[in-house]
Amino acid sequence: MSDTNKLSLSSKIFIGLIAGVVVGWLLTNLSEMPGVEWLINALTVIKSLFVNALKMMVVPLVLVSLICGVASLSDPKQLGSIGGKAFVLYLTTTAIAISMSLSIAYWIAPGSGLESGGESFAGAEPQPLTAVLGGLVAANPIQAMASGNMLQIIVFAILMGLAMSASGASGRRVADFFNDLNDVILKLVTLIMNLAPYGVFAIMTLVVFDLGLDAITKLATYFVLMLALLGLHMVVTYPALLAVFGLNPLVFLTKVRPAMLFAFSTSSSAATLPVTMEVARKRLGVGRSTASFTLPLGATINMDGTAIMQGVATIFIANMAGVDLQFGQFVTIILMATMASIGTAAVPSAGMVTLTMVLTQVNLPAEAIGMLLGVDRLLDMVRTTVNVTGDAAVSTAVAKLNGDLDHRIYSDPGAGLSFEEEHFEPVKEKNVG
């Protein structure tokens, strides 16, 4: 029992995935035995409880974390050219990430051929684009929360955060309440995610029982496609951004390595932030005033890796459900993934939780998320690496635009080298799982 308790949550989820595959395969071959139907019904109940728990957290998680993020980022003292340029660049790279992932995933169709042989999933008639854009602002935000209209909730949360930041002492008191509430909600998310191994076991058992082992092959396709798109975004989009502003991207990729390694080992942009700031200042030559604002901002709102995951996962699940997404639905996904990047909390698997709102908005089955959780740990490490690389790239670009970049430090291969040597080994030791 003690050895089991020492396992990390990701290890337990992976064990649940493998166990679900094995049990599902066994039940497929023993389907005529008495008691199998009862077991399938019990697993269906477990699956429903877990999926509903994830759905339960979507509205409070996005609403409260987004209000807190916007309220803190919109301090009038921090507004100006640095904040505006950084915000635009962060949202631009996120929009590129989700658009790229949707386009390539739609072309490859990683989940095709996995449609259930039973009753097909009936997607609702998509709303026209004009209706989507015209409905961004809720006439009744309480009703929007009750019905789970996430686009309206996100817009309301952004406006609420901006109003709080402009309300002086009253706004700060309200912000303190929401910050405390955010801590409680994140703890609740953690408690629910501790049940993920059992939910994944139930979901994978039912998936293999219904679809056979072909589902596992397609899951491998999803995994490889995710890695390829994350790598493509990191080595193409960010270097291209720097090249546009006249900076050598190869120098950047070489010098940002300590932050990338630390991000990969911790899977946390927030935990990596001190290293990222030191790399930006001592290795890349970003000025203190720029780095101190743009990097914390990026750790909060720059979730390109999560946006890529949501794009690929949405296409994968749509393929499985046999749903042909329409243009209006693609626009909805792009808008939601871009705006939700601001409100994605810095806790493990929060991106998977917010994925449920994207799926719900385009009327796709959220229970399919369970089969993706088993391979999400390694992908989460890579996603965090992409996010931190993006933070440093945008910070460097903003510093260049504002004349706050020391080109001598940026071009000097030995600048800040003592810092890299000092942190290279600890990076490998600080894996928090």
Measured from the Cβ of residue 124, the count of other Cβ atoms closer than 10 Å reads 9
Angle CA 18–23–27, to nearest 5: 150
Helix axes 9-29, 376-401, angle to 10 degrees: 140
Overall number of domains in the chain: 1
Q: What is the DSSP letter of 298?
A: H
Q: What is the pLDDT of residue 118?
A: 35
Is-contact 320 289, C-beta < 8 A? no
- Containing structural domain, residue 134: 2-429
Q: Per this entry, what is the length of the chain? A: 433
Collapsing DSSP to helix, strand or coil, 405 comes out as: strand
Whether pTM > 0.75 for this model: the answer is no
Nearest to 333 by CA among 155, 115, 101: 101
Q: What is the pLDDT of residue 8?
A: 63
Tokens, residue 249:
């991207």
Nearest to 114 by CA among 325, 371, 306, 354: 371
Question: Residue 86 maps to which CATH number?
Answer: 1.10.3860.10
CB environment 251-266: b (16+ within 10 A), e (fewer):
bbbebbbbbbbbbbbb
Is-contact 189 345, C-beta < 8 A? yes
Looking at the DSSP bridge assignments, the partners of residue 286 are: 405
Find all residues with CB under 8 Å of 369, minimum gap 6, and list them. 51, 54, 313, 317, 352, 355, 356, 359
Angle CA 299–346–397, to nearest 5: 15
Q: What is the pLDDT of residue 174?
A: 92
State the Cα–Cα distance between residues 317 and 320, nearest whole angstrom: 5
Side-chain half-sphere exposure of 246, counting CA atoms within 13 A: 7
Would you write out the chain's pLDDT as a tens digit for each of its 433 residues?
A: 445 556 666 677 778 878 888 898 888 888 677 778 889 899 989 988 887 887 787 788 778 877 876 776 555 555 466 778 888 899 899 889 988 988 898 888 876 665 543 333 344 444 555 666 777 788 898 998 888 776 788 788 878 888 888 888 898 899 899 989 988 887 887 788 788 788 888 888 887 787 666 666 667 888 889 999 999 999 999 999 999 999 999 999 988 888 888 778 666 776 677 778 888 888 899 887 788 778 877 877 788 888 898 888 888 888 877 777 777 778 877 777 776 665 555 454 556 666 777 777 777 777 777 777 766 766 887 888 899 999 999 999 999 988 888 889 888 777 655 544 444 444 443 333 3
